[in-house]
Amino acid sequence: MTDILVELNSAQREAVEAISGPVLILAGPGSGKTRVITHRVAYLIKVCGISPRHIMAVTFTNKAAREMKERLYRLVGGQVKDLTLGTFHAICARILRMDGKGIGVDPRFVIYDEEDQESLLKRSIGEVGLDPKQYAPRAIASAIRAAKVRTLTPKDYVERSRSYFEEVVSRVYERYQQLLTESNALDFDDLLMKAVQLFRNSPETLSRYQTRYQHIQVDEFQDTNLVQYELIRQLGGKYGNICVVGDPDQSIYSWRFADLRNILSFEKDYPKAKLILLEQNYRSTKKILETAFHVISASPERKPKGLWTKNESGELATVVETYTEQEEAQFVVNEIERLVNQGKVSLGGCAVMYRTNAQSRALEEAFVRYGTPYKLVAGTRFYQRREIKDIIAYLKLIHNPYDTVSLLRIINVPQRGIGQQTLARLSGWAKSMGISQYEALRLISEPKDDKQSFSPHIARALVGFLNLMEEFIARSRELNLVDLLDLVTERSGYREYILGQPDGEERWENILELRTVAQQYRDLKPAEGLSAFLEGVTLVSDVDGLDETVDAVTLITLHQAKGLEFPVVFIVGMEDGILPHIKSFDDPEQLEEERRLCYVGITRAKQRVYLVHAFRRSLMGSSTVNKPSRYLSDIPQHLISSGGWWQGEERQIATAIYSWDKPSASVPITQGFKAGDHVRHDQFGDGVVVSCQPGKDDSEVVVVFKGVGVKKLSLSFAHLEKVE
DNA sequence: CGAAAGGCTCTTTTT
DNA sequence: GAGCCTTTCG
């Protein structure tokens, strides 16, 4: 019993023991908030005797949920399986599949990701008679999302619209929602909104859930939005045992409508809430914390908060400027190799963080070139690859033939002679009959029907596709997921099709990778396996795939890095225009969010931080010159060790070549060399040192020899003489 | 209908 | 620099 409390400090212990009533925990980075939630749940189960069935814990990512589950397993054993533990979206999806019928949600619904959403939105814009090019789908999508976060139905929205734009949005929103319903699909925001609507419409259902969830904990509370807040308020309505944990300084998702005011609302809605501050940091050195503190406290809006550590003082943050993003990447790789060779850190202990995904390319290239192992947290994210989405579309359609987005995606992939014209006619015809497109296909296949006007060979193509899908649907009732997937890729002709494409081999490998994922669902009953798999692949987050056991450098966006920690952290692209991103320049609130993002990055580090910026960087094809990030100037000089101006290998070589012709008295040398030193080698003759890297028990020297070229030599064998 | 070629616009961050 | 869309031609 006591072992649950024994490893906690007094504030943490207080947070764990405050099990009745609302609790607000404000927890700085590295202060053990995940630990607090985990131990709190364990305490509820083991000490208070609460059944895990009555406990809910909401995390930000599936990975966080999985880790919490593992930790809890160690504390309470097999009982973890009865907990409700997951992201808001996953939990809501489950609620809606169980109980959504009351508000017209069919339990077989599919979930539309952003891409599906965009495609449906474009259609909606067209169908209400507007030009998708004139009304940016993104802007409308964002407005609709904002509406859903406030649980406004299209009807509510119409009543509130005050401007022409809102008028447009309300029309599109209405049609979009209709199309979703017809497709038996929900988008990400629907999952949350519909759950809240369900509870509003059905007090009995709500009461059932309220009775079940006697204890609710929410992690990363600073990044919840209004609809998530409402959901928690509803669920906790009976017992009020709600524990939320967050850090306003780490709020970085306002663009997803996360709202810091939730923290204020919490204090207002639950005036008796117990406030607990976790201020002791166990992660970082004093200097890192101090550096981070200077960055965050330059914010005008912020409430001051304490954060301290007993850890050692540590080393200064290193600020380095390079010429281009390629040299930035080279610097990072070189520095990591150096630290690793010196035994200061393992590859897995290093992370490179950046503001935008596009920045990963230069880094990846450098890592590949130097042969340094790395793991990229989902570049062009796996599940968004075309071939993966295609296969998933087949499976979605098998699961739910009303899914028009998936139908349109694959009806002609591989080509079956079904073109735009045909599709337009099909969808018009289906609409006029008030049936789904899939049902329309079924009608065409019935020989007696001749009202449709498709020419025989086109009708044959359509029916061919229908028969294919019908076969899949029939077989899906008996085949396990892997066999079904194999059947689909074979019989649809997709395998042959993709192998004939450029990069076909690689794309096919990706599908095999998807097959590996499917294997986890192999042993479930056919219908269950398919539905669980589809939900799993739609609700994955990028960090979910991060494998901690692989010893390789992590390449990750600053957003994804939230909640993680590494001994050594490089933040690259420390430039105005990148961090803060140029899009935030005209909005002070967004600039503050960028600052917090920088803060999040620095506080991921346990031992060392590097802040790297490039003088010149190519962005969207063309080259730009950026000033060093304004956040760098918020760090006082005494906390910075300047790595100065760093030149990449090629430019070092160029510099070396320009400085030939020096006098030639030779001096033997036993220690290392530095770049620019003139040397003589028995075999290669005179040269100039480009770099000299200390290794485990030897050093590697790179030298350009006159008339010979560049050679990599090991210091102890090369017999280099220094030439003064 | 479909393949190929050329022109356009963007990229913030993600469940 | 890539992916999307349109246009053009077979």
Predicted local distance difference test score (pLDDT) of residue A136: 82
Catalytic-residue membership of A219: yes
* C-beta separation of A337 from A312 below 8 A: no
Could you say which of A604, A606, A608, A617 is catalytic? A604
Query: DSSP characters for A605-618?
Result: EEEEEEEEEESEEE
Predicted local distance difference test score (pLDDT) of residue A682: 85
Predicted local distance difference test score (pLDDT) of residue A659: 64
Catalytic-residue membership of A2: no
Predicted local distance difference test score (pLDDT) of residue A373: 92
Instruction: Tell if A543 CB is < 7 Å from nucleic strand B.
Output: yes
Instruction: Tell if A502 CB is < 7 Å from nucleic strand C.
Output: no
Note the CA–C1' distance, A512 to C10, in angstroms: 36
A:681-710 Cβ neighbours of strand C under 7 Å:
none
What is the band of A612 on the pLDDT scale with cuts at 50, 70, 90?
very high
Per residue in A154-164, pLDDT (tens digit) is 999 989 888 88
* Residue A148, pLDDT above cutoff 50: yes
Across residues A66-70, what is the average pLDDT?
90
Across residues A402-430, what is the average pLDDT?
87
Predicted local distance difference test score (pLDDT) of residue A2: 58
Predicted local distance difference test score (pLDDT) of residue A447: 65
- What proportion of chain A, given as a percentage, has pLDDT over 90? 58
Across residues A282-292, what is the average pLDDT?
96
Instruction: Tell if A416 CB is < 7 Å from nucleic strand B.
Output: yes
* Residue A664, pLDDT above cutoff 60: no
Across residues A353-365, what is the average pLDDT?
91
Predicted local distance difference test score (pLDDT) of residue A428: 84
* Residue A146, pLDDT above cutoff 50: yes
Catalytic-residue membership of A97: no
Query: How far, in Å, CA of A106 to CA of A103, rounded?
Result: 9
* Residue A665, pLDDT above cutoff 70: no
* Residue A669, pLDDT above cutoff 70: no
What is the band of A527 on the pLDDT scale with cuts at 50, 70, 90?
confident
Across residues A598-616, what is the average pLDDT?
96
Predicted local distance difference test score (pLDDT) of residue A416: 87
A:66-125 Cβ neighbours of strand C under 7 Å:
122
* Residue A615, pLDDT above cutoff 60: yes
Lowest mean pLDDT among A17-31, A251-265, A695-709: A695-709
Query: How far, in Å, CA of A356 to CA of A327, rounded?
Result: 18
* Residue A474, pLDDT above cutoff 90: yes
A414: the nucleotide nearest its CA (via C1') is B2
User: Which of the nucleotides in strand C have any atom less than 7 Å away from a protein CB atom?
Assistant: 1-3, 5
Predicted local distance difference test score (pLDDT) of residue A6: 81
Is the pTM of the predicted complex or chain greater than 0.85?
yes
Per residue in A216-269, pLDDT (tens digit) is 999 999 999 999 999 999 999 999 999 999 999 999 999 889 999 999 899 999
Predicted local distance difference test score (pLDDT) of residue A660: 62
Query: How far, in Å, CA of A378 to CA of A364, rounded?
Result: 12
Per residue in A32-54, pLDDT (tens digit) is 999 999 999 999 999 999 999 99
Higher pLDDT, A544 or A363: A363
* Residue A502, pLDDT above cutoff 50: yes
* Residue A512, pLDDT above cutoff 50: yes
Across residues A611-629, what is the average pLDDT?
89
Catalytic-residue membership of A220: yes
* Residue A699, pLDDT above cutoff 80: no
The two counts, helices (H) then strands (E), for chain A are: 29, 25
Cα–Cα nearest to A310, from A290, A278, A277, A280: A280
- What proportion of chain A, given as a percentage, has pLDDT over 70? 94
* Residue A662, pLDDT above cutoff 60: no
Instruction: Tell if A590 CB is < 7 Å from nucleic strand B.
Output: yes
Catalytic-residue membership of A528: no
Backbone angles phi, psi at A556, to 5 degrees: -155, 150
Beta strands, E only, A297-456: 308-309, 317-322, 350-354, 374-376
How high is the mean pLDDT of chain A?
A: 88
Higher pLDDT, A621 or A364: A364
Higher pLDDT, A280 or A547: A280
What is the band of A379 on the pLDDT scale with cuts at 50, 70, 90?
very low
Higher pLDDT, A651 or A243: A243
Across residues A168-180, what is the average pLDDT?
92
Note the CA–C1' distance, A69 to B12, in angstroms: 32
| Six token digits for residue A229 | 């807040």
What is the band of A722 on the pLDDT scale with cuts at 50, 70, 90?
confident
Query: DSSP characters for A427-457?
Result: HHHHHHHT--HHHHHHHHHSTT---S---HH
Lowest mean pLDDT among A256-270, A544-558, A611-625: A544-558
Cα–Cα nearest to A214, from A237, A197, A192: A237
Per residue in A294-333, pLDDT (tens digit) is 999 888 778 778 899 999 999 999 999 999 899 999 999 9
Across residues A535-557, what is the average pLDDT?
81
Predicted local distance difference test score (pLDDT) of residue A663: 44
Instruction: Tell if A384 CB is < 7 Å from nucleic strand B.
Output: no
Predicted local distance difference test score (pLDDT) of residue A507: 85
Catalytic-residue membership of A302: no
Burial A660-686 (b: 16+ CB within 10 A, else e): eeeeeeeeeeeeebeeebbbbbeebeb
* C-beta separation of A171 from A82 below 8 A: no
* C-beta separation of A46 from A40 below 8 A: no
Instruction: Tell if A621 CB is < 7 Å from nucleic strand C.
Output: yes
